[in-house]
Amino acid sequence: MDVGRCFLFLLLPSFFFFPSQTQSSDSFTSVLVSQNGLDFVKNLLVNKAIASIIPLQIPRIEKSVKIPFLGGIDVVVSNLTIYELDVASSYVKLGETGVVIVASGTTCNLSMNWHYSYSTWLPPIEISDQGIASVQVQGMEIGLSLGLKTDEGGLKLSLSECGCHVEDITIQLQGGASWFYQGMVNAFKDQIGSSVESTIAKKLTEGVSDLDSFLQNLPKEIPVDDNAALNVTFTSDPILRNSSITFEIDGLFTKGETNQVLKSFFRKSLSLVICPRNSKMLGISVDEAVFNSAAALYYNADFVQWVVDKIPEQALLNTARWRFIIPQLYKKYPNQDMSLNISLSSPPRVKISEQYVGANVNADLVINVLDASQVIPVACISLTIRGSGALRVMGNNLGGSVSLEDFSMSLKWSNIGNLHLHLLQPIVWTVIQTVFVPYANDHLEKGFPLPIIHGFTLQNAEIICSSSEITVCSDVAYLDSSQQPQWRLKLPRSTTWKPNLL
């Protein structure tokens, strides 16, 4: 990777999946990169850029010079190569329209071959000499200014300004009569300096162009599983401040045309991402609408239906155990096995506040009697389940768990007469605790991916809850691509699930 591409590729974690200049009502996830985060990216950028630029070949230089008593001499400097580069200091600064990165006090060492020749007129013979030389460039400053805009849901990167300035050059010849020709080769200082400046600037310009093409081809979705993806389109231009840059993305779970329905239902404006004392590199804010969009998507895809025919206390699934709870059931179907169908009657709703993360789930519980090869529905109970949640960051995923707070019941219909629901409460509680909650936690603990580019991972993450959103405040670490885990959630394809909890 050349210096320009590396220079910009490493900036990518700062703005890979997330923008906004004024906050958009179509944005449900925001990412703030603090000054600490910008400095981290800048330091990584400088180190990787140096590694990618070495060795860097400089075009050959030819020049004719006049030497007293000898006349015109043709001199060629070739194989001019930068083999070492050291940056004394660097900084990143945010302007109104983009990012500026400057590396100053830079020195680099070069090697080169030199050759001269001239012809005498009396007698007509050609005289030549050659050798090698070492070159040290001092006081070099490299600067790059980038413009950031959104373009049709993607990120448009433009080069506003690019430059490289060399302050001083020292050339030391070796080989041949180098002591005699030192002054002659010193005449190449300006040309060597100009060649170094133009070559580095050209590499940076090429890198910007390559990365802009790369950004234009970024996927607009992150696959979550076979049924869902995260919409990661940019919704507005970046917000640039003195010491931070904020990006906004759509962030909702989506599948085809479903996404538009969810957008119109969940549309809400995000508040600014705030992490205490801005001590962390990143702040990722996720609105509760993201969780609700996931719930609605899986609800619409019929992934919220369970058939319960095995539980730890299996005798509960026989009418004999219900003869005192629902006598008419046992009278009509004595000693018959039973099953329970649980299906959601509406998408679960997640609510986030400063003190609480909770969910309300509306479900229908159908009581079935298994008579030979028949499944006979006998009653349906409507449930309103209230749970509390705990969130945690696992790698680059946001996951969690849920626990049962309480629930309420009402009879929806019955083929066996009226039911005393308060007598059913212990059985329903057992079913929810041993079937519904473990199933939910099995998938919640896997979580879903936060918008972090491959090669980087969150470290020392903290979660802060506020009104209708959570914020993940975290540092980041860089990993080689071979170390970055791939994540993909797998859900069962069938719309029914039979838990075996024995």
* Per-residue pLDDT tens digits for 154-193: 888 888 888 899 998 888 887 666 665 666 667 778 888 8
pLDDT at 20 over 60: no
Cα R_g (the chain), whole angstroms: 34
Instruction: Pick 388 or 187 by higher pLDDT.
Output: 388
> What average pLDDT does this structure show over 234-245?
85
Categorize the per-residue pLDDT at 381 as very low, low, confident or very high, splitting at 50, 70 and 90.
very high
By C-alpha distance, which of 497, 417, 484 is closest to 453? 484
Q: What is the pLDDT of residue 333?
A: 94
Tens-place pLDDT, residues 75-99: 888 999 999 888 889 988 887 778 8
Buried b (16+ CB within 10 A) or exposed e, 55-64: ebebeebeee
Residues 6+ apart with CB under 8 A from 13: 41, 452, 453, 455, 456, 476
Tell me the pLDDT of the chain averaged across its residues: 80
Rounded CA-CA distance 237/103 in Å is 27
pLDDT at 337 over 90: yes
Q: What is the pLDDT of residue 406?
A: 94
Instruction: Pick 205 or 303 by higher pLDDT.
Output: 205
By C-alpha distance, which of 194, 223, 284 is closest to 474? 284
Q: What is the pLDDT of residue 200?
A: 87
Q: What angle is formed at CA 460 by the lines to CA 457 and CA 464, rounded to 5 degrees?
A: 105
Q: For residues 349 and 360, is the Cβ–Cβ distance under 8 A?
A: yes
Q: For residues 108 and 165, is the Cβ–Cβ distance under 8 A?
A: no
> What average pLDDT does this structure show over 70-75?
71
Highest mean pLDDT, choosing among 173-187, 373-387, 426-440: 373-387
Does an H or E element contain 259, and which? helix 258-266
Residues 6+ apart with CB under 8 A from 362: 344, 345, 346, 348, 382, 383, 384, 385
Beta-sheet pairing, 357-371 with 244-249: unpaired
Tens-place pLDDT, residues 119-148: 666 566 777 778 888 899 999 999 889 888
Residue 259 tokens, joined: 């996404």
pLDDT at 355 over 80: yes
Q: What is the pLDDT of residue 328?
A: 94
Residues 6+ apart with CB under 8 A from 65: 72, 73, 75, 184, 187
> What average pLDDT does this structure show over 20-47?
77
Of the listed ranges 18-27, 143-152, 253-262, 442-451, the least confidently predicted one is 18-27
CA 362 to chain centre: 33
Q: Where are the alpha helices (DSSP H) in 267-404?
A: 288-300, 327-332
Of the listed ranges 159-168, 311-320, 384-393, 448-457, the least confidently predicted one is 448-457
pLDDT at 364 over 60: yes
pLDDT at 494 over 50: no
pLDDT at 430 over 60: yes
Q: What is the pLDDT of residue 176?
A: 61
pLDDT at 313 over 90: no
> What average pLDDT does this structure show over 313-334?
91
Q: For residues 213 and 221, is the Cβ–Cβ distance under 8 A?
A: no
- Tell me the torsion sign for CA atoms 426, 431, 437, 440: negative
Give the global pTM. 0.78
Count the alpha carbons within 13 Å of 360 in the hemisphere toward its beta carbon. 6
Q: What is the pLDDT of residue 500?
A: 32
Buried b (16+ CB within 10 A) or exposed e, 85-123: bebeebebebeebbbebbbbebbbebbbbbebebeeeee
Q: How many CB atoms lie within 10 A of CB 353?
A: 13
Q: How many CB atoms lie within 10 A of CB 192?
A: 22
Highest mean pLDDT, choosing among 47-56, 395-404, 491-500: 395-404
By C-alpha distance, which of 379, 388, 380 is closest to 407? 388
Q: What is the pLDDT of residue 178?
A: 62
Q: What is the pLDDT of residue 404?
A: 94
Q: What is the pLDDT of residue 124?
A: 67
> What average pLDDT does this structure show over 4-33?
51
Helix-strand-coil split of the chain, %, nearest 5:
25, 45, 30
Q: Is the backbone peptide bond immediately before 123 cis, with ω within 30 degrees of 0?
A: yes
> What average pLDDT does this structure show over 191-200?
89
Categorize the per-residue pLDDT at 4 as very low, low, confident or very high, splitting at 50, 70 and 90.
very low
Percent of the chain whose predicted confidence (pLDDT) is above 90: 25
Q: What is the pLDDT of residue 271?
A: 58
Beta-sheet pairing, 469-478 with 456-466: antiparallel
Rounded CA-CA distance 233/478 in Å is 24
Of the listed ranges 49-53, 367-371, 436-440, 467-471, the least confidently predicted one is 49-53
